[in-house]
Structure 1
Amino acid sequence: MSRSPDNILLRFSAEQEQQVREIFAQLEKRGFPAQHQTPHITITFSPSMSDAVAQRAAELLPDLIPACFHRVGTIVFGTKRKQTVAWLLETTDALEMAAREISAVNPDGRGPRWTPHLTMGLRLPREIVPDYIRALDELAAAQLRELTACRAALWKPRLQELTLLAGDMEHNGRD
């Protein structure tokens, strides 16, 4: 049984997902921890996503998908021993407002806040984070400056259930 929370998330095309996975593989070849997560952008998460949140996402997101994101920086989440390295992303005002509204409806959420990002290094030991960021910059400086989310979905890892909320059916699978 998965301990991961349910997520309303945005997924990429198979081609862009593979490009991110190739960066993960190159980082692993350099001796960094393997990354197994499916590339995605989380809008909101909950131990058990309420139907109201999924319904609101299904109402707001279809008109906004596909959605373009621009990579504008690298950020580090976490203050303890394990940290997460991510690409900070920007998108349209319309998607930003929709994501904030979806997050605000989530009783387990963080209110109307959203920091769009793509996790590039999950649960990294704090002491390797500077080297990881340097290697990531070397490998991906000119790649994936722009990303396109082509579907929105509700992912329930404990059930291994992906429910499409907006976009195409090109890619289904685990998160």
Structure 2
Amino acid sequence: MSRSPDNILLHLAQEQEEKVREIFAQLAQHGFPVQQQTPHITITFSPDMGQEAVEKAAQLLPAVIPAQFQRVGTVIFGTKRKQTVAWLLETSDELERAARQISAMNPDGRGERWTPHLTMGLRLPREIVPDYIRALDEIAANGLKQIDAVRAVLWKPRLQQLRMLAGQ
């Protein structure tokens, strides 16, 4: 049984998901930890996602999905031994507003805040992060400047339940 939280996620177009998985594979070939997560953009998460947040997502997301994101930088999340490397993303004002409203409905969320990102290295030992970022930059130098989110879902990992909220 998974201890991972419930998530309202945006999934990438299949071709782009495959490209991200190829980047993961190339990073693993360079000796970095294997990345097994499905590439996604998280809107909000909770140990048990409240119905109000799900209803707000089902109401708002169909009008803004599919959506385009621009890769604008690389960020590091975490202050302890394990850190996460992600691509920082920007998107339309409409999707930003929708994501912030959805996040605000999640009592376990961060209020009306949202930092759109695509995780490229999860739970990395702090000491390898600089080398990981260098390798990521080399491998993905000219690829995936634009990322397309084609569907929004509610993912409940402990139940292995996926519910489509918007898109294909």
TM bracket, shorter-chain basis? over 0.9
Q: What's the CA shift for 1:123? A: 0.2
In structure 1, distance between residues paired with 2:107 and 2:78: 23
SS in 2 for 1:61: helix
**Matching residue's letter, 2:5:** P
TM-score (norm 1): 0.95
**Matching residue's letter, 1:82:** K
In structure 2, distance between residues paired with 1:21 and 1:158: 24
Name the Cα RMSD after superposition. Answer: 0.4
In structure 2, distance between residues paired with 1:143 and 1:159: 35
Q: What's the CA shift for 1:50? A: 1.0
TM-score (norm 2): 0.99
In structure 2, distance between residues paired with 1:103 and 1:46: 10
- Name the residue aligned to 2:9: 9
- Name the residue aligned to 2:106: 106
In structure 2, distance between residues paired with 1:16 and 1:120: 13
Unaligned runs of 5+ in 2: none
Unaligned runs of 5+ in 1: 169-175
- Name the residue aligned to 1:172: none
In the TM superposition, what whole-angstrom CA distance separates every residue of 1:117-160 from its partner, at most 9, and x where no partner exists? 00000000000000000000000010000000000000000011
Are 1:145 and 2:142 an aligned pair? no
**Matching residue's letter, 1:21:** R
Q: Give structure 1 regions of 4+ aligned residues with deviation exceeding 6 angstroms.
A: none
Paired residues in the alignment total: 168
In structure 2, distance between residues paired with 1:146 and 1:13: 11
